[in-house]
Structure 1
């Protein structure tokens, strides 16, 4: 189960990375104003605040969950989200989390004996 779910998350991560590359590339080529786009109107503020709050919750989850299950270098996912997209790094983290949970569940019976 963990392996299948990790592949689902990897596909989502790939989609997040590809869309980030495409749309950020278009924005850069068109010299678009990121700050103006994020905070130009009241609707922009709502979406920006919503995504910012979700991103903060995701980072807190990534840190606490990685500590709980013994994942290393979670700071790399957080750093990568600043240069790629949270739509890439969070599903990537979830894929690696599923793999780690699979490792833990496969070794758990051996530890009990």
Structure 2
């Protein structure tokens, strides 16, 4: 179970869990309060709109990184991180991808040493 889990991979995994729990708490509150989720994003003033654009641009850049890095490293089913971000949160799936990427890098490093 601990094979290839470096301290950095565990850090990324911890951030993924924090991203999942944190976003779902507020998603749950939004649902309980019957809030207009998208309307709150775009109609709550320039500060919220600025954060929305900021996070969307970062999410798009992160999705591109997921595709490029997963192909470069030979990681399978990386598209699932992108799809899951629409169901959960990018704050969860991106650090999760980074954790799995770190594990793949560690695996490759150990494999190269063995040769």
TM-score range, shorter chain: over 0.9
Q: Where in structure 1 do 4 or more consecutive aligned residues deviate above 6 Å?
A: none
**Residue-pair matches, total:** 111
Structure 1 unaligned residues grouped into runs of 5+: none
Aligned with residue 8 of structure 1, among 6, 11, 15: 11
User: For 2:7 and 2:22, how far apart are their aligned partners in 1?
Assistant: 23
The residue number in structure 1 matching 2:47 is 43
Residue of structure 1 in register with 2:101 after alignment = 97
> What does residue range 80-91 of structure 1 map to in structure 2 within 5 Å?
80-91=84-95
Distance in structure 1 (CA, Å) of the matches to 2:29 and 2:113: 51
Q: Which of 28, 33, 44 is residue 31 of structure 2 equivalent to?
A: 28
Greater helix percent: which structure? Answer: 1
TM-score normalized by structure 1? 0.92
Q: What does the per-residue CA deviation read over 1:81-110, in whole Å, with 9 as the maximum and x for residues that have no partner?
A: 001001100010000000000000001133
CA distance in 1: counterparts of 2:112 and 2:41, whole angstroms: 46
Offset of residue 2 of structure 1: 6.0
Aligned partners of 1:10 and 1:92 also within 8 Å: yes
RMSD: 1.4
Unpaired segments of 5 or more residues in structure 2?
none
